[in-house]
Amino acid sequence: MSVATDGDDDRKIHPTPEDLRREMVATVKRFVERDVEPVASELEHRDEYPHQLVATMKELGLFGATIPTHWGGLGLDTLTYAMMVEELCVGWMSLSGILNTHLMLAYVIRTFGSDRQRDEFLPGMARGDLRGALCLSEAHAGSDVQAIRTVGRRDGDDYVINGAKMWVTNARQGNLYALVVKTDPQADPPHKGMSLFIAPKGPGITVSRDIGKLGYKGVETCEVAFEDYRVPSANLLAGVEGHGMQHVLTGLEVGRINIAARAVGVARAAFERAIQYSQQRTTFGKPICEHQAVQLKLADMATKIDAARLLTHRAAELKDRGQRCDLEAGMAKLFASETCAEVALEAMRIHGGYGFSKEFPVERYYRDAPLMIIGEGTNEIQRTIIARQLVKKYPA
Ligand SMILES: Cc1cc2nc3c(=O)[nH]c(=O)nc-3n(C[C@H](O)[C@H](O)[C@H](O)COP(=O)(O)OP(=O)(O)OC[C@H]3O[C@@H](n4cnc5c(N)ncnc54)[C@H](O)[C@@H]3O)c2cc1C
């Protein structure tokens, strides 16, 4: 990636983090305008995996976006990542899903992994040769994570895993799973018996079915079965049992920032389409943007999108300062996803009947928006997390 600056020789040689951020965001914007927007709706309607776009994302280094340069990544901070995800989702939300669980796995390996685990996995992940996915949810256990039933039993130098995971995004294209299991099913509380394995695809893993979805198409979300799947004990994250819940919750903070940024991107795309359309469409002798009922919608949409972006950037900046940000990431995810769903519906209303047709992209934004309300912890669960943190912050 070359970094353009405006004139200052020293800055050309030593680009500042702000230069890098600006350049990276501009690079993603160019990619979206040139490569993504012309094909996104077509691929989405066909529910077709975007191999060509993913190849370009690899070339741009996006699979290593937040992986430190020491392991071959771009070493970008979380704020830059959030801005980049917003741009990507202005084009097509599914593309950020291809990166999300991949970079969550990279984040927990970097944060909790041993030196050997970092050296073994991060370079391949940065190149996009190793592609991550998160195997956490099960058919009966999404919000209630501690109710998972997949079990890992120690056998010599391996663990033997049995069980089934549900909703695994990137299950087919991915080849390295963040696999959360119970290594002690009797533990009380249950999270003390949960562990996270860095699990390469291999014998004993079957991607058993693809789940048909309302939106978020093009990227696969699957059920995955584990039958006597053997993973080396060396792949137990941090080398100790019982910390899987902590590992995955820390990764989910980054995931929630991704979801909030995605929601800002989709909402922005819907708003931009709506404000353009409102100036072109005339009724009763004037553009509809001159009708007060439409103006009120546009004003509310833009205000809420800006507020959602500010919340998202605040959470990202806290993460970059190394602070816990579950309260702020939860607020950002909650507000941005609800805003996105609202804005997508308003954009559809502004388009009238055309908003309901497949010829305009607003129907896609409208179908993609609800995922952000459900994924990475439903908004009901977000509210309980936020409230718990608030009670801690404001003791009686
Ligand atoms: C398209 C898609 C992709 C996904 N990708 C992945 C992935 O890659 N990896 C992965 O592991 N998972 C993934 N998920 C799973 C996702 O995280 C779960 O669907 C989500 O956490 C909700 O769990 P659930 O579906 O079991 O709903 P449930 O937990 O059964 O919840 C049902 C309803 O009850 C509410 N509820 C539950 N408990 C409470 C409570 N205590 N208080 C108030 N309300 C409550 C919920 O908010 C919801 O409205 C994906 C899901 C989708 C739809």
Question: Would you state the pLDDT for residue 327?
Answer: 93
Pocket test for ligand 1, best of 143, 145, 373, 386 (most atoms within 8 A of CB): 143
**376 carries an active-site annotation:** yes
Please state whether the peptide bond connecting residue 123 to the residue before it is cis, i.e. omega within 30 degrees of 0.
Answer: no
Would you say the CB of residue 384 lies under 6 angstroms from ligand 1?
yes
259-268 per-position pLDDT tens digit: 999 999 999 9
Would you say the CB of residue 377 lies under 6 angstroms from ligand 1?
yes
Would you say the CB of residue 382 lies under 6 angstroms from ligand 1?
no
Q: Is residue 107 within 8 Å of residue 134, measured between CB atoms?
A: no
- Distance between CA atoms of 77 and 36, rounded to whole angstroms? 24
- Tell the residue nearest (CA) to atom 38 of ligand 1: 143
Map the chain to HEC letters.
Answer: CCCCCCCCHHHHHCCCHHHHHHHHHHHHHHHHHHHHCCCHHHHHHHCCCCHHHHHHHHHCCHHHCCCCHHHCCCCCCHHHHHHHHHHHHHHCHHHHHHHHHHHHHHHHHHHHCCHHHHHHHHHHHHHCCCCEEEECCECCECCCHHHCCCEEEEECCEEEEEEEEEEEECCCCCCEEEEEEECCCCCCCHHHHEEEEEEECCCCEEEEEECCCCCCCCCCEEEEEEEEEEEEHHHEHHHCCCCHHHHHHHHHHHHHHHHHHHHHHHHHHHHHHHHHHHHHCEECCEEHHHCHHHHHHHHHHHHHHHHHHHHHHHHHHHHHCCCCCHHHHHHHHHHHHHHHHHHHHHHHHHCHHHHHCCCCCHHHHHHHHHHHHHCCCCHHHHHHHHHHHHHHHCCC
**What is the CA(39)–ligand 1 centre distance, in A?**
30
Question: Would you state the pLDDT for residue 17?
Answer: 83
Would you say the CB of residue 219 lies under 6 angstroms from ligand 1?
no
Would you say the CB of residue 373 lies under 6 angstroms from ligand 1?
no
Closest atom of ligand 1 relative to the 134 alpha carbon? 9
289 falls in which pLDDT band (50, 70, 90)?
Answer: very high
Residue range 170-176: average pLDDT? 98
Closest atom of ligand 1 relative to the 211 alpha carbon? 1
Of 44, 138, 376, 380, the active-site residue reads 376
Longest dimension (CA), the chain: 79
Question: Would you state the pLDDT for residue 16?
Answer: 85
Would you say the CB of residue 143 lies under 6 angstroms from ligand 1?
yes
Pocket test for ligand 1, best of 137, 169, 209, 224 (most atoms within 8 A of CB): 137
Pocket test for ligand 1, best of 245, 374, 376, 383 (most atoms within 8 A of CB): 374
70-83 per-position pLDDT tens digit: 999 999 999 999 99
Q: Is the pLDDT of residue 191 over 60?
A: yes
- Distance between CA atoms of 337 and 340, rounded to whole angstroms? 5
41-56 per-position pLDDT tens digit: 999 999 999 999 999 9
- Tell the residue nearest (CA) to atom 41 of ligand 1: 381
Domains and CATH numbers, the chain: 12-127 (1.10.540.10), 132-242 (2.40.110.10), 246-393 (1.20.140.10)
Question: Would you state the pLDDT for residue 77?
Answer: 96
Query: Pick the residue with more confidence: 324 or 320?
Result: 320
Pocket test for ligand 1, best of 96, 99, 102, 167 (most atoms within 8 A of CB): 167
Query: Rounded to an integer, what is the distance from CA 353 to the centroid of its chain?
Result: 32
Closest atom of ligand 1 relative to the 171 alpha carbon? 8
- Distance between CA atoms of 47 and 213, rounded to whole angstroms? 9
Residue range 89-115: average pLDDT? 97
Would you say the CB of residue 210 lies under 6 angstroms from ligand 1?
no
Question: Would you state the pLDDT for residue 119?
Answer: 98
Question: Would you state the pLDDT for residue 11?
Answer: 60
Would you say the CB of residue 367 lies under 6 angstroms from ligand 1?
no
Q: Is the pLDDT of residue 7 over 80?
A: no
